[in-house]
Amino acid sequence: MSDLHQTLLVFDEAHNVDNVVVDAQTLTLSLDTLELATISLVRLTKLLSIEESKKPLKNEYKRLVEGLRHSEPTKRIEEENNIPIDTITSIQFVVLMKDIVNFFREKLREAPIHKKQHINEHCSIPIKNVVDSFCDSLALTPEVVTLIPLRLHLLIKALGDEYGGRQDVKGDSFYYDDLYLVADFAALLCSCQEGFSYVPDVVKMDKDNCFHSVLNLICVDAANAIQPTLNKFHSIVFTSGTLSPLKTYINILGLNNVVEEKQITSSFSSMRRICPLFVTKGFDSISITSQSSDTSGSEIKQDRILFSSQYAYRSNRLIIHSYGRLILELSKTVPDGILCFFPSYSYMNICISYWDEMKIIESIYFNKLIFVESNDSEETSLAFQNYRLACHTGKGAILFCVTRGRLSEGINFTNHLARAVLIIGAPYLQSEILTIKERIEYLDNKKIISKDEYLIFDAMRTCNQCVGRCIRGKNDYAVAIYADKRYKFNDNKIISSMPQWIVDALEKRFTDISADQSITLAKEFLMKMSYLFNNQTNLKLQKGKTLWTLEDIHKDQLVSFNE
């Protein structure tokens, strides 16, 4: 590749770039990982024993090492630290890897054993202490440790066992993923101390539904993680239709010399093709029969319930019922496809189960088919294909999706595939999750962004992506319903986190409205947009010609009959 310093790097769909770089440099070691890494080392020992007397292996390995010596990163490390990378034999290297595995196995024994112990204690350990202990126990410098993954790759490649294809060693096809993970964990631990947290934790494993200790190396600073990449290029371009607010991205990524902060919006914004509605309240009144054992047969009544997906309201049957009724009314009003996003798979399953019990699902089926996203990628792909087919050939369908799920990004729902997007609740991160908690605390302590601001920013960019699924071209249009009491027109943190093309269409009368009002506004918007007209057309002059109501149609039919 040519000199990268003269190259332009473009990040498309850059709204999640900070999460991508953070996730890429966040690693976790479990006892299972270490056990599989040990099996890999046993295999390498057998292969080395077979190849010990074979000269071609030594020549190939020497050639690879010489090629490595001429690479810029290795030359720089050797020059600065006077460290030859081939001073130990392959057998000695395997022994070194065993020592590394044993070091982390010992650290796992020191980790919390019970979840309660982890909750009661802040288990984050100063990363410098861990690095010093690690290097002292192995008698290595951090610079040498950073070369271990590359040395491991060279050894496996020289043995011709990159994909475990050697037939002269007993066993099935073999992969070294877990051994590479251990090597990467050690190298990352020693290479970057700023912007990382080392946190032993206790997690519940699916295999036995029991808690097990793990070691987490958590990247908490996206700016620190992405800078080595950015520094290699002359200029960087970040693009996305939902890159808002720019200032927050600039701060989180630690960008300097920003040339342009202005958002670029397409010409379609001159005609409002999105109708955002902040629906905070349910219908005028609801009355449902409780099916719980303690109130069997009793009626629950309440006026104007407030929509919310907060944890305290997750099991509130009135709220769930109101969400279901909103979907039912939309299925009667919206032609073609409707996307319905839930904040999590668990909440989606709770809602579907309740709606099925209350016959709401059955009522929706009279208007549209329902398809559901799942954790299984093949099932989700099949659901999406059938949803498209239903929209193309029938009276439309409803697709139940999950924010931050497979269908919330990268999938285009053009034209009639999405005439409405409903976001049930607000997709706030669970701040008690360890990786999220560590990152938020770091950003807050460094005064980059406060905890509350970050949670709102992340929730709104997730919403922006969901809404963005339906506006993929200049002729697309849709209603976007944000159904939660936390969406407020006068909250600058909310509004500033929305892209300009949505803000331009958001009117005060579209906010803090009830479910009844949202149905009326959606009907008006869709009726207006369903007729083709150009940007210059005066709608008043077209009244009675292209914007016919049902009453107009009946009148015309009556006149034709009399004639």
DSSP 125: B
- Among the listed residues 362, 283, 364, the one whose alpha carbon sits nearest the alpha carbon of residue 328: 364
pLDDT in tens, 372-404: 999 998 999 999 999 999 999 888 999 999 999
Token duo for residue 123 = 């288990």
My answer on whether 76 and 170 are in the same domain is: yes
My answer on whether 448 and 336 are in the same domain is: yes
What φ, ψ does residue 464 adopt, rounded to 5°? Answer: -60, -40
My answer on whether 523 and 550 are in the same domain is: no
Average pLDDT in the chain: 82
Tally of CB atoms within 10 A around 49: 11
Torsion (CA) 311, 313, 315, 317 in degrees, nearest 10:
-160
What φ, ψ does residue 83 adopt, rounded to 5°? Answer: -115, 110
pLDDT at 82 over 50: no
What is the share, in percent, of the chain residues with pLDDT greater than 70?
Answer: 78
Strands, E assignment, 454-532: 478-483, 513-514
Token duo for residue 528 = 């207006």
- Domain-ending residue, one of 175, 197, 219: 197
- Among the listed residues 463, 425, 426, 456, the one whose alpha carbon sits nearest the alpha carbon of residue 440: 456
Token duo for residue 281 = 């309240």
My answer on whether 497 and 425 are in the same domain is: yes
* Domain-embedded: residue 8: no
What pLDDT shows up at residue 379? 94
Is the distance from CB of 484 to CB of 520 less than 8 angstroms?
Answer: no
Is the distance from CB of 223 to CB of 253 less than 8 angstroms?
Answer: yes
My answer on whether 422 and 508 are in the same domain is: yes
Rg (CA), the chain: 29
My answer on whether 288 and 166 are in the same domain is: no
Q: Which residue has the higher pLDDT, 241 or 176?
A: 176
- What is the C-alpha separation between 179 and 149, in angstroms, rounded? 9
pLDDT tier at 71 (50, 70, 90 boundaries)? low
* Domain-embedded: residue 242: no
My answer on whether 525 and 543 are in the same domain is: no
pTM of the model: 0.80
What are the b/e assignments for 522-534, b being 16+ CB within 10 Å? bbebbeebeeeee
- Domain-ending residue, one of 197, 227, 244: 197
Is the distance from CB of 310 to CB of 300 less than 8 angstroms?
Answer: no
Q: Which residue has the higher pLDDT, 27 or 164?
A: 27
Q: Which residue has the higher pLDDT, 254 or 540?
A: 254
pLDDT in tens, 281-320: 998 765 554 444 344 444 555 567 899 999 889 889 999 9
* Domain-embedded: residue 472: yes
For residue 343, whether the previous peptide bond is cis, meaning omega lies within 30 degrees of 0, is no
My answer on whether 445 and 418 are in the same domain is: yes
My answer on whether 509 and 555 are in the same domain is: no
Domain total of the chain: 3
Q: What is the CATH number of the domain that holds 524?
A: 3.40.50.300
- What is the C-alpha separation between 203 and 412, in angstroms, rounded? 36
Domain hosting 131: range is 19-197
Tally of CB atoms within 10 A around 127: 20
My answer on whether 558 and 477 are in the same domain is: no
pLDDT in tens, 225-258: 898 888 888 888 888 878 888 889 899 999 888 8
Q: Three-state secondary structure along 359-386?
A: CHHHHHHCCCEEEECCCCHHHHHHHHHH
- Domain-ending residue, one of 142, 163, 197: 197
Angle at alpha carbon of residue 407, lines to 243 and 9, rounded to 5°: 40
My answer on whether 542 and 524 are in the same domain is: no
My answer on whether 179 and 285 are in the same domain is: no
Is the distance from CB of 8 to CB of 233 less than 8 angstroms?
Answer: yes
- What is the C-alpha separation between 431 and 311, in angstroms, rounded? 12
- What is the C-alpha separation between 462 and 448, in angstroms, rounded? 20
